[in-house]
Amino acid sequence: MRPFRLADADLAALGAGRPSAGTLGLLRRAQLSRHLLLLREIRLAVPGTPLWYDRLTTVTEAESRARIADPMTGLWAARVLDGLHASPGSGLRTALGELPEPAGHPLSVTHAGRTLSVRLDDRGPLRHSLGLPATAALSPAEVASWERCLDQAWRILIIRHPEAAEILAGVLRVIVPARPDPLAEGVSATSAEAFGAVAMSAPTGGTGLAVALLHEVQHSVLNAVHGLFELVQPTGRLGYSPWREDPRPALGIVHGVYAFLAVTRFWRAELRGDPPAEAEFEFARWRAAVHRTAGALLRGGELSAAGERLVGALRDEVAPWLDEPVAAEVERLAALARADHHARWRLRNLTVAPGDLAALTGAWRAGRDAPAVGSAVAGGARVVESSATLRLIRASLRGDDTGTGDPADVACVRGDRAGALRSYLAILDADRDHAAAWTGLALVSPQPALRRRPELVRAAALALPEADIAALAAWLSR
């Protein structure tokens, strides 16, 4: 059996987000080989001849290959093998049955002679296995809406993002409609077992769909690469990802930075001509996040040699983008959005050990300098959290009225740091554990401890109810 190999130059191009057609072809062949190996393991693990095996041997070679290569076949085979290992008796019936039928609606859109063909899977039995709750079967009007948005997205990609369009056409095969999350602008997910399949909530337009598809296809590509060789040497540590509310392992952070490389490149290309403020904001917001996160991964000591090559090429790709001009006000709002997410993440996920907290309170009450203490990642399940600051930023960029928001948040977004600082401190005087006020305080306070470690100041403030918060932050900053 010949191993699949990826040359160093091809890996670097892939890390930069520009895989060649040859590289994408290799990844597709590798996934087909993986599906064949999974099916072989199932065939050897069960008595008799499974129905799916009979069916695959009685159709044409092209039909058999298409069924085996389908993303849902890989997902089905992986689930069946897991079931056979966990409970051989109960998993046997599924292993002997049929492969899942490619159910749903074939969609095909064409622009400038280039076609994208996918299956909108709203009926398949495995559509609930991509990490998001799937919708019920779609109405004809809903299918038509998906097709209309897909046509708009494909037109945008072909006209302004031709290289991204080629990647999308080379990977995407299945879209599973998912139920929306009321706290998120849109949700989407992929599975490492289903190369080329994406679950996502219904799009509202072509631009949003194009961005979401490029983002999720990056995950599929990286999953396929990680199946060929390890990208990380995990230590079990969890860290910060600018795209998630929960702490993430190194591989999860690699996935995030790789997906948002494509998102950042999309918005960068959208800046040509007379760009909307949204495009400039998204580009400014994510270019710094991608570059910083790639740098943190390279310094973190958890990447394999292949992972270092991939992430290094990614960082080198983004580095020149940091010098590209963006309106000063947009850059300020982009930095505010990044800081808002980081502060909320720290306040949600980092804790101070009880012994360290006792040392802090003792030093404060004794009039001594604050001892050096650390913060630990508490971990926890994934959440989707809405940000009032981000909502106001988006409203401001659209030119909408922001006066109906919380006065402290409005002052923060408008750049009135002194007014916002007074308002947040007033809120905390009335409710010392007001989560949103702590986040806001971290954004506008002049004290380094609040900007860098808001969870430490909050923990100390809750343990020292008699202490003035501003004075406590200044003490912890020294």
Could you give the angle at the alpha carbon of 336 between the alpha carbons of 205 and 164, nearest 5°? Answer: 35
Kindly give, in sequence order, each residue whose CB lies less than 8 Å from that of residue 310, ignoring residues fewer than 6 positions away. Answer: 11, 12, 14, 15, 225, 231, 254, 258
Is the domain of 416 the same as that of 298?
no
What's the confidence (pLDDT) of residue 422?
97
Residue finishing a domain among 269, 301, 326? 326
- Decide if 310 contacts 231 (C-beta within 8 A): yes
- Decide if 114 contacts 156 (C-beta within 8 A): no
- Decide if 285 contacts 337 (C-beta within 8 A): yes
Residue finishing a domain among 326, 344, 361? 326
Average pLDDT over every residue of 26-31: 96
What's the confidence (pLDDT) of residue 183?
74
Give the number of domains in the chain: 2
CA 119 to chain centre: 23
What's the confidence (pLDDT) of residue 2?
66
The Cα–Cα gap between 118 and 146 comes to 11
Is residue 413, in this structure, part of any structural domain at all? yes
- Which pTM does this prediction carry? 0.94
What's the confidence (pLDDT) of residue 88?
76
* Average pLDDT of every residue of the chain: 94
Is the domain of 392 the same as that of 418?
yes
Is it the case that residue 380 has pLDDT exceeding 70?
Answer: no
Residue given tokens 């337009």 in the structure block: 205
The Cα–Cα gap between 462 and 165 comes to 52
The Cα–Cα gap between 209 and 153 comes to 6
Going by the DSSP 8-state scheme, the letter that residue 4 receives in this structure is: P
> Which residues span the domain enclosing 378?
328-477
Model confidence over 185-233: pLDDT tens digits?
789 999 999 999 999 999 999 999 999 999 999 999 999 999 999 999 9
Is residue 179, in this structure, part of any structural domain at all? no
Average pLDDT over every residue of 247-265: 97
Residue finishing a domain among 299, 326, 353? 326
Is the domain of 432 the same as that of 463?
yes
Is residue 59, in this structure, part of any structural domain at all? no
How far, CA to CA in Å, does 330 sit from each of 285, 322, 398?
9, 14, 12
Is the domain of 358 the same as that of 255?
no
> By C-alpha distance, which of 168, 162, 153, 264 is closest to 218?
168
Is residue 352, in this structure, part of any structural domain at all? yes
Is the domain of 343 the same as that of 257?
no
Q: Which SS3 state, helix, strand or coil, does residue 58 take?
A: coil
Is residue 221, in this structure, part of any structural domain at all? no
Give the number of other Cβ atoms within 10 Å of residue 325's Cβ: 8
Phi and psi based region of residue 380 (left: phi greater than 0; alpha: psi -120 to 50; beta: remaining): left
**Percent of the chain beyond pLDDT 70?**
99
Is it the case that residue 383 has pLDDT exceeding 80?
Answer: no
Is the domain of 387 the same as that of 286?
no
Is the domain of 314 the same as that of 349?
no
Is residue 130, in this structure, part of any structural domain at all? no
Residue 149 has which token pair? 């948005």
Average pLDDT over every residue of 399-417: 91
How far, CA to CA in Å, does 311 sit from each of 13, 223, 227, 292, 455?
11, 15, 17, 11, 30
Model confidence over 132-186: pLDDT tens digits?
999 999 999 999 999 999 999 999 999 999 999 999 999 999 999 999 988 777 8
Is the domain of 275 the same as that of 372?
no
Is residue 81, in this structure, part of any structural domain at all? no
Is the domain of 464 the same as that of 342?
yes
Is the domain of 355 the same as that of 461?
yes
Average pLDDT over every residue of 384-391: 86
Average pLDDT over every residue of 58-75: 95
Average pLDDT over every residue of 398-404: 83
**Percent of the chain beyond pLDDT 90?**
88
What's the confidence (pLDDT) of residue 272?
85
Is it the case that residue 1 has pLDDT exceeding 60?
Answer: no
Model confidence over 304-359: pLDDT tens digits?
999 999 999 999 999 999 999 999 999 999 999 999 999 999 999 999 999 999 99
Going by the DSSP 8-state scheme, the letter that residue 166 receives in this structure is: H
Is residue 373, in this structure, part of any structural domain at all? yes
Is the domain of 382 the same as that of 260?
no
Is the domain of 311 the same as that of 423?
no
